[in-house]
Amino acid sequence: MKFSKLWNEWVGSFDKKNDAAKPLRDLIIKGSLFLFLTIVTPLLLSTDNSIQYTDVKIGSVATKKVVAPFNFFILKTKEELKKEREAAVQKVPVYFRYDDKAEDNSLRQLTYTFSLLKKMAVPADTTHGILAGYGKMLEDSVHIQLAPHDIVRIKKFLHDEKPGEYLNRWWKTIYRTGFIDVRKKDIDRDEVVLLRNDIETRVRRRTLLDADSVLALFSSALSKKYKDPPLAALRVLVRQTMRPNYRLDKAKTKQEIEKAVKSVSLTKDMVYENERIVDANERIDAEIYQKLYSLEMARAERSKREGNWQPFFARLGRYMLAAAILFVVGLYLFSFRKKIFADNKKLLLITLIITLMLSIAAIIAGPLNWPVYVIPTTIGSMLTAILIDSGIGFVVTVALALLFGGIQGGGYDITMMTIVSGMIAIFAVYEIRNRNQIFKAVLYIALSYLWIIAATTFLRFDTFANLARVFSYNLLPNAVFAPLVTYMILEVFERGFDITTDVRLLELSDLNHPLLKELSIKAPGTFHHSMVVGNLAEAAAEEIGENALLARVGAYYHDIGKMDKPEYFVENQMDAKNRHSELKPSMSALILVSHVKTGLEMAEKYKLPGRIRDFIAEHHGTTRMNFFYNKAIALAGDEDKVNEADFRYPGPKPQSKATAIVMMADTVEAATRSLSNPSPGRIRSFVEGLIEAKYQDRQFDESDLTFKEMRQIIDAFMPILFGVFQHRIEYPDNNKPQKASNDKTTPTTQTKNGNRTA
């Protein structure tokens, strides 16, 4: 009990309400949480993986037995590396990048040249000096060099055949195929990649066109289309106007070759700790030599690490990476989730969830030395999604994936596994309505694990046997274990941080809850009133996009304090005797106010969550009890002799839309019962007046409700209120007909401003 009290006080010190007026303290808290995670993450996820170096001769005899003192990789020989790198380079295609101006420029130049040639007046004598002038003009204006006789032939062809439109279409076909700027025979790869708008298209070399093939196709096309075209002259012209629309991208090709070379692993196998490398008196062959060489390299590297700054910078790099990842998370919260960022209590919760996941990962990968696939990364995703929301769950999932993959050294596998399975787990518990729903996550997580491990297995050309082994022994137990742990620790976080999840709300909505059971026995009228208020609040919350379940459950408990003195509240006065008629107005006001205080005490006793206690404290706000206030003025004879504050509820005013909705529903449900001969029009007008009075009394100032939402709330109330007041057939008494009346005899039901005393 003492620990629980200390914990609540410590967590309460992080509450944003305590920090609103203390920006420096708020900054210190946020900075401390960031610094804590930045330091703890590399400490928990530190690794010692390395590749290293040696020297011996093949054919010599080992003088002693050599056993591996630690795990190390076997390096490939220079010949193996060279061969594999050459093979990798041969698989790299040649890259050509699209020139989006080539086609337009080429066609424009060709078209303009044709137009100039058409305008030229060609003399009969081809040796005439004017043709030389035309040639000079073409060279100056369109940079085309044509002999005089070529000008004459092309001019005549254009005049006789008018091939402009056909050539234009033909050129567009060529450009669609792909016209490269190098000779095809100079390309030593069969595969070519065409880059256009950052989209890669892989094609075979033979499908492309170079200058020679374009000219050959051009000649063939003209010969088929026209009779005796001046092919030689036109080829001279076309050769000068055609521009390739795909140009060799040497930089990209070189970059891909370098990537291919780097992708070739330096190692080919691993020697495990205590594994025999060579026996005494055993001849050293090429395989043993390479193991010894790799061992010596590993030793040299380890020694180097101990005697220089490398270990320091490696640790510094891990801290920097952790800081970068966590900073991005904080930046996201600051920019897009300001309410979460402002709530230090929520930030503490996120910090503890991340720390919990890092600790589990550290134990599994450290002392237990289990594979990283066993780490139940989805626990963090599910906890964050349930306790805060799915958006924050996504951010935490990505952060954990980067931390596991980057700092811990798990690599791409664990990063992808964490992200995909985390997203699936969040989907499985989205809008969770019972604890059993958590267990459907087992199936979803298992399927996501199977999908990812199958994908990585196929990519690496691994065996199905290995896939089955990893999934059966590592991932499947992980998928089963994670939801179980989430289930076990969820309530710890709920109670430790006073968080009301939908799971907890559903438990509280059970009418067999001790408080609701007691309320139905001691104050049946209040119980029925609370049920109707719950229906009204749920409909209104759903209409404006608030948590309808929270509004309904809050309404169920908002009046539990009336159990202490139920007979003083009109809905419980079955004998029609009004207890307040015998009391002074001030005493009546104290009794009414006491139901809020008593309700909060009961809520504390039964450990109701803070969000439910808010409904008890805020459902009356600072409303004035008009009936007793006016009665006190009448008895005093002077308004100045009555202290208005004595006749107001202590508040606070509703701090959220949900509690404001319950205030409206509470007022409306009680007050509308005083209506005689209610019609839909009268009910709506009356309800609008009640809510307008609350608004004029500034009860909604701190709830962020908008006018539009108030109108939507009223609209949502109407169908339920119409149902309550619907006309029914009156069945006559066989002995004596009676006239039913809905009128209340007590003065405590309705006042001028729509306030009620109960």
* Helix/strand/coil (H/E/C) assignment for every residue in 155-184: HHHHHHHCCHHHHHHHHHHHHHHCEECCCH
Let me know if residue 625 belongs to a domain: yes
- State residue 672's pLDDT score: 80
The total of other beta-carbon atoms located within 10 Å of residue 734's CB is 6
Looking at the structure, tell me whether residues 560 and 664 fall in a common domain: yes
195 in the same domain as 124? yes
Same domain, 519 and 663: yes
Residue 9 bridge partners (DSSP): none
Q: Domain limits at 412?
A: 312-499
pLDDT score at 664: 94
Residue 332: CATH number of its domain: 1.10.1760.20
Q: What pLDDT was estimated at residue 571?
A: 82
Cα(88)–Cα(67) distance, integer angstroms = 34
C-alpha atoms less than 13 angstroms from C-alpha of 287 in its C-beta half-sphere: 8
Q: How far is CA 567 from CA 524, 570, 575, in A?
A: 11, 7, 10
Q: Are 662 and 555 in contact (CB under 8 A)?
A: yes
Statement to judge: residues 451 and 551 lie in one domain = no
pLDDT at position 407:
58
Q: Give the span between the Cα atoms of 668 and 555, in whole angstroms.
A: 13
> What pLDDT shows up at residue 267?
82
Task: Indicate if 645 and 664 belong to the same structural domain.
Answer: yes
Same domain, 219 and 249: yes
pLDDT at 217: 84
Q: What is the pLDDT of residues 402-430, one digit of tens each?
A: 988 765 544 577 888 999 999 999 998 87
- The reply to whether 326 and 451 lie within a common domain is yes
Point out the domain boundary residue: 255, 288, 320.
255
Q: Is residue 63 part of a domain?
A: no
C-alpha distances in Å from residue 726, one per residue of 531, 683, 686, 720, 745: 18, 11, 16, 10, 22
Contact 547, 658 (CB under 8 A): yes
Of the three residues 444, 476, 499, the one that is the final residue of a domain is 499
Which residues of the chain register pLDDT less than 70?
1-5, 15-21, 46-57, 60-65, 121-137, 139-141, 159-161, 279-282, 303-311, 314, 369, 406-411, 434-436, 460, 575-577, 726-758
Q: Considering the domain boundaries, does residue 295 fall inside one?
A: no
Judge if 189 and 138 occupy the same domain.
Answer: yes
Domain count, the chain: 3
Looking at the fold, whether 546 and 491 belong to one and the same domain comes out as: no
Residue 652 preceded by cis peptide, ω within 30: yes
**What value, to the nearest 5°, has the Cα angle with vertex 131 and ends 125 and 137?**
170
- Whether residue 220 lies inside any domain: the answer is yes
- Predicted local confidence at residue 226, as pLDDT: 80
Give the contacts of 602 (CB within 8 A, at least 6 positions apart): 515, 560, 561, 563
Q: At a CB cut-off of 8 Å and minimum separation 6, what does 303 contact?
A: none
The pLDDT, as a whole number, for residue 228 is 78
Handedness of CA 558, 19, 705, 713 (dihedral sign): negative
Residue 571 buriedness (CB in 10 A; 0-12 / 13-18 / 19+): buried
Provide the β-strand partners of residue 276.
Answer: 67
Do 477 and 440 lie in one domain? The reply is yes
Is position 50 within any domain?
no
Q: What pLDDT, on a 0 to 100 scale, did the predictor assign at position 55?
A: 43
Domain boundary among 443, 467, 499: 499
Whether 753 is covered by a domain: the verdict is no
pLDDT for res 472? 92
Q: Copy the structure tokens of residue 658.
A: 């949900």
Residue 166 lies in a domain: yes
Helix (H, G, I), strand (E, B) or coil at 556: helix
Question: How open is the CA angle 706-708-714, to the nearest 5 degrees?
Answer: 105
Shared domain for 558 and 459, answered yes or no, is no
235 and 190 within one domain? yes
CATH of the domain at 702: 1.10.3210.10
Would 62 be classed as within a structural domain?
Answer: no
* Beta-sheet pairing, 246-248 with 199-204: unpaired
